[in-house]
Structure 1
Amino acid sequence: MDDRFSQINKALKIELQEKPKSKKVWILFFIFICLAAGIFYAPNFITKDSSSLQRKSVAKEIQATKNRFKAAVVDLPISIFSSFSFDEPKNILLLGISGKGNDAPDLTDTILIAQIKNNPLKINLISIPRDLWVKVPESETLTKINTLYVFGKAAKNQDYGISLAKQKIEEITGLKIDYYFLIDMSVVKQIIDELGGVNVWIAKDIYDPQFPGPNHSYQTFEIKAGWRYLDGETASKYMRTRHSAQGDFDRIQRQQQVLEALKQKLMGLNPISDLPPLLKIAEKFWSNIKTDISLTQLPSLWQIAKQISPEEVNKIVIDREENELVLGDNILIDGQIASILKPGAGIENYSEIQAFIAQGQ
């Protein structure tokens, strides 16, 4: 069997152990922009009263971090909004992968488009279901959309994997993708540890004897109700556990809860006195993100992002239960049943989905 298909089949089988992950990339995207822009603007916080040694030390730290960041981005010569009249929206693709430490690290289990509009300023967050059954671009092969990145990366390289996902998402939505972010979600655990943990209110006792472990195994995750100070490992398990009365809804709430606690702790850091840990955190973020937005573009994007809270984001969800734009089905993959979603209008017919997105904008 072609190595590309064996990797996809392996990823799909591993996926059967997991429920779909919720859409937590938006908050991570916001945090990333704030961190990146904070480093860009950090020299402005170095006052005339700062000592010469302090100014040199801070400037050296910032420049070193900027240099490391350049490896994660494509340095474009113009600002994201310098030539943008706001007469038409900008569409930023956000892809979230499970990342290091997971059995299927390259599945894009979170697929979102952040569409930025102006007059008035507005962000539409369009979610694409990871189980959507699609044809691989330039191929007759059918697969889940969350494996396209795996397919392209195995066939050529990471850039080709991103290109396949981008091409198919443009076809599905009818939207031109202007920029992308590929985010390794394991960065959440790393940053929480770098901050020394986060304080979270646990509403109810949790006991999950079937929490996914390494090599397709299971382990027990247990945590008592009340205020708990969580390290990265515990916070990660708390966000991922399936054991609750309302299933995925509860998990979405837990993930938002932890990420909000993380955001608040990050926003409380002082750009001077906390600069060393801030730079370490920023570097962890940047080493787990790939994007074609340049460092010089980030401050402009930050000015947009900081004006909008997550509650003000208009969410456009392609969901089976609500609108039947997609219909559920089951297929057999190497002897195991896998759940998929097909467009209600038929395989590779995305006319209804495109109309729904246009109406929701």
Structure 2
Amino acid sequence: MLKIKFFVKLRRMKNPLNSIFSWILIILGLCLVSFLVWGVNHPAEFAINSEKATESSSAFSSKEPVNILFLGVPGDGSRGALLTDSIFLAHLNFNQKKILIISFPRDLWVQVPHGSQNEKINALYSLSNKNTTSFIKATSYNLIQGKIEAITGLKINYVIIFDLQGFGKVVDALGGINIFLDKEMIDPQLTNPHDTSEIFDLSAGWHYLDGATAIKFIRTRYAPSGDFYRMDNQHIIIAALREKINQLSNVWNLMTWFKIWQSISNHYIANLDFNTLWELFNLFKNVKSNQI
């Protein structure tokens, strides 16, 4: 628990929470788009769900806080396909319209629930899905959900899991992203995605990243700070992605949104229905950075 508190404190000092919240809204928004597209293909069922959403009282009328666990994995074709490289919990407070975000280092050692051995926390999702290596079939997350609940004392209401292949496809669908590096990045343990004979090396300054390069960027952690370095890189990518999404929302390019949905349709798992997604998105889309 002390490690978690220290990690959260460090994250706040570097002020990445607005970027993480942007990623939450991006994920919720893309899931919402997928439901809307599903509605086009299933008009009868969609009409019933939409009517219920209009007529029924809010699913959150009790104003009890809601906790959403977000997990990011490498996905099919990658080594450690179901290891959670990204783990963060969003605590949504409806009364205060505030959000608390807790990031968990993937290398945190924990005791496996109902077992005697210790494992890194990022292995729990994989252990819950021993009988498959396919991401879309890996629908069990009880071990990591239970462990996060035990660490925080919070009940997790919803879980959203996404893989890096889908993330890369979203970057490509947006036409790539631009990032700025304060100093050179060199990771001898990774290779250039476009030339596997070269190590991954980015000079200081501005860079354009396509999906494959963006995935490499957020996975690198060859630095003394290790996992914290990886998290910092993820925040840089999220900020750049948020910028592209903001540009897209200004012109509301429906074809691009549809292209994005096609990119992620087999790359995320969520236990939220349309009504829940719609309410969460609208309740918190205007939350300011000082409320996070």
> Using CA pairs below 8 Å that are at least 6 residues apart, which structure has the higher relative contact order?
1
2:115: which partner in 1?
139
CA spacing shift, 1:118–1:173, aligned 2, 3 Å: same
Q: Normalising to structure 2: TM-score of the pair?
A: 0.73
1:96: which partner in 2?
72
Tell me the SS of whatever aligns to 1:105.
Answer: coil
Amino acid in the other structure paired with 2:190: F
Tell me the SS of whatever aligns to 1:297.
Answer: helix
**Rg bigger for which structure?**
1
> Cα offset for 1:132?
3.5
1:165: which partner in 2?
144
State how far apart, in whole Å, the 2-side matches of 1:273 and 1:171 are.
42
CA spacing shift, 1:233–1:62, aligned 2, 3 Å: same
State how far apart, in whole Å, the 2-side matches of 1:227 and 1:300 are.
38
My pick for the range that moved more, 131-140 or 166-175, is 131-140
State how far apart, in whole Å, the 1-side matches of 2:186 and 2:250 are.
40
2:127: which partner in 1?
151
Say whether 1:183 aligns with 2:166.
no
Query: What is the percentage of aligned positions where both structures have the same residue?
Result: 34
2:99: which partner in 1?
123
Q: Which residues in structure 2 correspond to 1:19-30 (within 5 Å)? A: 26-30=21-25
State how far apart, in whole Å, the 1-side matches of 2:170 and 2:280 are.
22
Cα deviation digits, residues 58-84 of structure 1 (max 9, x gap): xx89614x89xx9xxxxxx87998132
Say whether 1:35 aligns with 2:34.
no
Give the alignment partner of residue 213 of structure 2, picking from 234, 237, 254. Answer: 234
Q: Normalising to structure 1: TM-score of the pair?
A: 0.61
Give the alignment partner of residue 183 of structure 2, picking from 184, 198, 204. Answer: 204
State how far apart, in whole Å, the 2-side matches of 1:129 and 1:223 are.
24
Gaps of 5+ in 1: 1-21, 42-59, 71-76, 314-361
2:200: which partner in 1?
221
CA spacing shift, 1:230–1:145, aligned 2, 3 Å: closer
CA spacing shift, 1:277–1:247, aligned 2, 3 Å: same
Partners of 1:86 and 1:117 within 8 A in 2: no
State how far apart, in whole Å, the 2-side matches of 1:129 and 1:250 are.
11
State how far apart, in whole Å, the 2-side matches of 1:201 and 1:238 are.
12
My pick for the range that moved more, 268-277 or 179-188, is 268-277
> Cα offset for 1:170?
2.0
State how far apart, in whole Å, the 2-side matches of 1:257 and 1:121 are.
26
CA spacing shift, 1:158–1:34, aligned 2, 3 Å: closer
> Cα offset for 1:116?
0.7
Gaps of 5+ in 2: 1-15, 47-51
Give the length in aligned residue pairs.
Answer: 263
Cα deviation digits, residues 129-168 of structure 1 (max 9, x gap): 4334333333334322222211121158733x31222223
Give the root-mean-square deviation of aligned CA atoms.
Answer: 3.7
